[in-house]
Amino acid sequence: MLTDKHIEIIKSTIPLLENAGSALTAHFYQRLFSHNPELQDIFNMSNQQSGRQQVALFEAIAAYAKHIENLNALTSAVERIAQKHTSFNIQAEHYAIVGHHLIETLRELASEAFTAEVEEAWSNAYQFLAGIFINREAQLYQERAAKEGGWQGARAFTVIDKVTESALVKSFIFAPVDQQAVIGFTPGQYIGLEVHPTGNDYKEIRQYSLSDKPNGKSYRISVKREQQGVPGKVSNYLHDSVNIGDEVKLYAPAGDFFFVDRQSPTVLISAGVGITPMQGMLETLAANKHPQPVHFLHACEDNSQHSFAQRTAELVKNNNWQQNIWYRNEKPQQSHIKQGMMDLSSTDLPTQTGNFYLCGPIAFMKFAKQQLLSLGVGEGNIHYEVFGPHASL
């Protein structure tokens, strides 16, 4: 049970956490994978190499400590994490393992300050938070399994089509091996995909946005070949080695970033492969003959990297919507495509009444959000999705 005394002790350790910084979580993950290497079947090890996962975990721990008296402030973060956990098939027993290594990490890095009282407080605080996640994730698993076409855990799917969308992006369409129906989803959500690349010691699970409208029979994802920085182990494997007829495992659609019909104009803003959830939204809005105005804005390097260009132009034209495109490294030939960086002040956007959805590299979304705020868009009307570990804009 989490008592007032526990809360007082937790808050008193905030400076300790802040001084430790992401070194705390780096030590935690090293310890976790050393003692429980099987968890590498679940965790994205590329994010471990880039450091993004360590930063995200540290920020989550610090936020929990700061808001432990008012967990309502963390409701959106809890939902986002719980949704992501279900796409990894996280189970209650995993929390006990993680909790053990978190407490041992605190003991090893702050031995003098980590008294019996502090250990008791953090143990109770962790168990309290773990209970929240376990209950929410169990609810999500049960809800999805109970729906038509739903399931829990991994389900076998076959690749029924593989389509080149641009120089770096290929789409994969999956149908279930059992030839039964598949659960629907809300456009903007993602699906968990599990593969075991040749020569890899462990399985790999990744989340990819669903890039088409729901149809009850199949799913489509569109994957960018990641070549810069840490090469994408799974994206390159999908591009090079996964073909029509091959089998993969999928986890049911999840995610807290999705289109919500607020009876107002909709503005979809993306860059690069961030177009994928926007394409799913656009396809769905068109299929539903959405009555409100829609604005589609996208930025990419050049024509060769412009995914879904013909399809989006067709959807926009057929529905009398608005489209603006920016190519950073190419002078375009069409009037709705401009050269350079995305400039939202040059477009006629519903800044006072619209809802704005952003997806793309973090730097791009920060850039776009600041433009929107300067144009008078309310922060509550700006919704965004970060690929990989969460980061605040």
Q: Where are the alpha helices (DSSP H) in the chain?
A: 4-12, 14-20, 22-35, 45-50, 52-66, 75-87, 92-109, 116-146, 233-241, 275-287, 309-318, 362-374
Q: Please tell me which residue in 29, 64, 95, 327 is annotated as part of the active site.
A: 95
Q: Please tell me which residue in 29, 137, 165, 190 is annotated as part of the active site.
A: 137
What is the total residue count of the chain? 393
- Residue 370 contacts residue 393 (beta carbons within 8 Å): no
Whether 314 is catalytic? no
Characterize the bridge pairing of strands 247-254 and 155-164: antiparallel
Please state the three-class secondary structure of 202-243 as a single string: CCEEEEEEECCCCCCCCEEEEEECCCCCCCCHHHHHHHHHCC
Whether 385 is catalytic? no
Residues 302 and 306: their CA atoms lie apart, in Å, by 6
- Residue 128 contacts residue 74 (beta carbons within 8 Å): no
Question: What is the biggest distance separating any 2 CA atoms in the chain, rounded to whole angstroms?
Answer: 69
Cβ count near 287 (within 10 Å): 14
- Residue 214 contacts residue 383 (beta carbons within 8 Å): no
* Nearest in space to 148 (alpha carbons), one of 192, 174, 194, 185: 185
Residues annotated as catalytic (active site), given as ranges: 95, 137
